[in-house]
Amino acid sequence: MKAAVLILLTALPCPPGAARAATNDCFADGVAAYRLGQFARAARDFEKAAATRPAAGTLVNLGLSEWQCGHAGPAILAWERARWLDPFDARARENLRFARHAIQVEAPGLKWFETLSGWLPAGAWLWLAGANLSLATGLMLLPGILRRPKAGWHQAMAAGALCVFLFSLTANVGVLSRTRLGFVLEDNAPLRLTPTRDGEVTATLTGGEPARKLRTRGKYDLIRTEYGTGWIDRGQFGLVSGQ
Amino acid sequence: MRGWDDMKRCAPLLALAICGRALEAGGTNAVAPVAARDFYNAGTELLAAKHFAGAEEMFQSALAAQEDRVQPPALYNLGHARFDDGMAALKSGPSPQSLAAQGNASGVKAGLAIRRAESALAENQLSKMVAAYLGGLGARRELDSVEEAVRQAMKTCGDTLDKWRRAEDDFKGAAELNPADTNAVRNAQIVGQYIDWLVDSLRQMQHLGAMLGERHHQLNEVLRQIGGRIPEPDLPPGAPGGDQDEDGGMQPESLRGLKEEVSRAGKPIGVRLSPDEAKQILEGISVDDSRQLPMNETRTGQHREKSGFTW
């Protein structure tokens, strides 16, 4: 298992033609730089590619480049973003498992509706909710508008669509809640008591540690971690949703 | 309907009982702070009462509540509490100036003792060596006490420095959160000046400690040399060994087997003391009257066989 994960980590990144990967110049440059062992340059190229056109493959490669540079925090964030876009991406999942084991950080603790929201890509739940609401409404209203008798299957399908709509509503709440989830980017990032430059340090965080953003003040984010609540410099913290 | 009437009759009594209970609770139990504002108020009261540690804790709790309105004043007062706490700790110990004077005096005394010991060694006279030895022990004892005082003062200064640095950051933070607060900026500057003064004092104490340590080392060295020259029977009572010799002093065991130095004529040096020398030696011996053992007139001093278990 470990060998498999190692192979996964050291393997070449996604080729430009891979599924869901952006096929722009930056991506190709990143792949070339990665193959040459220029991981810092590769990370920069993949970051540009991901900013232009976010894709799970690009983010997986970005994570690999960052990991090779020794930046565990940005690597974990990139793989988490890849899973945000594509929860079925096995490489991102395995890399996350390997990296967390290697640097001894925990995966974020999710509530049940957040776990549920991770079954599909974040955007898919909104589509699902909209489609099912439309379907249920259509099945309830269209027979009357078209002056046709309501069949039993109309009502059964409308009920089913309504159930799926309610289910996807819960998942959407989970997605919304997960937008507050983020990861510490730098090692030994200070968690301060106040949003000030010389604020008292209450804890020192490791890169890749999960936290939830509560609010912002100035150039600081108030986050809640397992070590308590405090302020962190915005540059040292990244949200999974990228917002 | 009757039940309702009964209830109406009992209502005033019930209300009276509830009010009494509430008044009693208010009179005897202080309400524990729960919100940031409560913590801030409690901290301010403690600060006014000069309970700095408690005030610091309260202000930290007020800050930890992360309430935007309370944070700037809580941070400002936290700076005050920390600065005052450091100042109180500093005032409780000896002042750096008096300590420096005391240290310099001890250093001079130790220097004199060293010179006397060196001249006694050069002259190779037992009586002078014994006197120098005793004088050296006294000087070393004084050095020990001053060194300990310097160590304690340096620790206090170090702790105060940490508190003042934190206080300076607190005032800066208060100014950062509320740019209109010019008092915080001014306080940060003042604390910075105090920090500079404290750092200077710490440096002086470090130099003093180093000087005293060097004198201590020299004194130990010269005492060791004298101790090697003085024959065991002539060693002053209580001079070697004991807790004064823990750092390189002469141990009783090391004196065993040493012979008295033989004079050029081949005869042992006789111990001839003039009345002045004897007086000097006697003055060098400190007698602790409070530690005298009680005299026992009945016990003959014979060894008593112990019977039974040894534990």
- Token pair 């940490």 in the structure block, residue: B162
Q: Do A199 and B60 touch (CB under 8 A)?
A: no
Which residues of B lie inside 8 Å of A (Cβ-Cβ)?
Answer: 60, 63-64, 66, 68, 71, 75, 166, 169-170, 172-173, 176-177
Residue A215 φ/ψ, nearest 5 degrees: -165, 180
What residue segments make up the domains of chain A, in order of their start? Answer: 2-103, 113-178, 181-239
B76 within 8 A of B184, measured Cβ to Cβ: yes
Please check the confidence at residue B305 and state whether its pLDDT lies above 70. no
Q: Do B172 and A198 touch (CB under 8 A)?
A: yes
Please check the confidence at residue B70 and state whether its pLDDT lies above 50. yes
Dmax over Cα atoms in chain A, in whole Å? 73
State both tokens at B134: 């005793």
Alpha-carbon distance B64 to A229, whole Å? 8
A194 contacts in chain B (CB < 8 Å): 63, 71, 75, 173, 177
C-alpha distance from A197 to closest chain B C-alpha (Å): 7
B129 within 8 A of B230, measured Cβ to Cβ: yes
CATH node for A181-239: 2.30.30.40
- Residues A189-233: tens digit of each pLDDT: 999 999 999 899 999 999 999 999 999 998 999 999 999 999 999
B68 contacts in chain A (CB < 8 Å): 217
List, in sequence order, every beta strand (DSSP E) within chain B. Answer: none
Q: What is the ipTM of this complex?
A: 0.76
pLDDT score for B104: 86
Alpha-carbon distance B113 to B141, whole Å? 12
How sure is the predictor about A154, in pLDDT bands with cuts at 50, 70 and 90? confident
CATH node for A2-103: 1.25.40.10
Q: Tell me how crowded residue B142 is: count the other CB atoms within 10 A of its CB.
A: 17
Q: Tell me how crowded residue A127 is: count the other CB atoms within 10 A of its CB.
A: 12
Mean pLDDT of B34-46: 92
pLDDT score for B34: 78
C-alpha distance from B94 to closest chain A C-alpha (Å): 30
pLDDT score for B257: 40
Q: Do A222 and B75 touch (CB under 8 A)?
A: no
The burial of A8, by beta-carbon neighbours within 10 Å (0-12 exposed, 13-18 middle, 19 or more buried), is given as middle
B223 within 8 A of B136, measured Cβ to Cβ: yes
Who contacts A230 (Cβ-Cβ below 8 Å, separation ≥6)?
Answer: A191, A192, A193, A202, A203, A222, A223
Please check the confidence at residue B291 and state whether its pLDDT lies above 70. no
Alpha-carbon distance B20 to B56, whole Å? 36
How sure is the predictor about B279, in pLDDT bands with cuts at 50, 70 and 90? low
Q: What percent of chain A has pLDDT over 70?
A: 90
Nearest to A239 by CA among A75, A77, A15, A62: A77
A197 contacts in chain B (CB < 8 Å): 172-173, 176
How sure is the predictor about A39, in pLDDT bands with cuts at 50, 70 and 90? very high
Side-chain-side CA neighbours of residue A69 (13 Å): 21
Averaged pLDDT of chain B: 74
- Residues A87-98: tens digit of each pLDDT: 999 999 999 999
How sure is the predictor about B273, in pLDDT bands with cuts at 50, 70 and 90? very low
Averaged pLDDT of chain A: 88
B55 within 8 A of B47, measured Cβ to Cβ: yes
**DSSP 8-state assignment for residue A150:** P
Alpha-carbon distance A62 to A78, whole Å? 6
Mean pLDDT of B81-99: 88
pLDDT score for B32: 66
How sure is the predictor about B12, in pLDDT bands with cuts at 50, 70 and 90? low
Side-chain-side CA neighbours of residue A11 (13 Å): 16
The burial of B34, by beta-carbon neighbours within 10 Å (0-12 exposed, 13-18 middle, 19 or more buried), is given as exposed
Mean pLDDT of A143-154: 85
* Helices assigned H by DSSP within A53-151: 56-69, 72-85, 90-103, 112-117, 122-145
Nearest to A91 by CA among A166, A21, A180, A144: A21
**Could you tell me which residue, A190 or B107, shows the higher pLDDT?**
A190
Alpha-carbon distance B207 to B209, whole Å? 5
Please check the confidence at residue B217 and state whether its pLDDT lies above 60. yes
- Residues B219-266: tens digit of each pLDDT: 888 888 888 888 777 776 655 544 444 444 333 333 344 344 444 444
The burial of B238, by beta-carbon neighbours within 10 Å (0-12 exposed, 13-18 middle, 19 or more buried), is given as middle
Please check the confidence at residue B203 and state whether its pLDDT lies above 80. yes
- Closest by Cβ to B71, choosing from A194, A197, A228: A194
Give the residue on A whose Cα is nearest the Cα of B71.
A194
pLDDT score for B276: 58
Nearest-5° Cα angle at A103, A98 to A104: 95
State both tokens at A197: 């430059």
Mean pLDDT of B141-146: 89
A214 contacts in chain B (CB < 8 Å): 66
Amino acid at residue number B93: G
Alpha-carbon distance A92 to A20, whole Å? 13
Please check the confidence at residue B44 and state whether its pLDDT lies above 90. yes
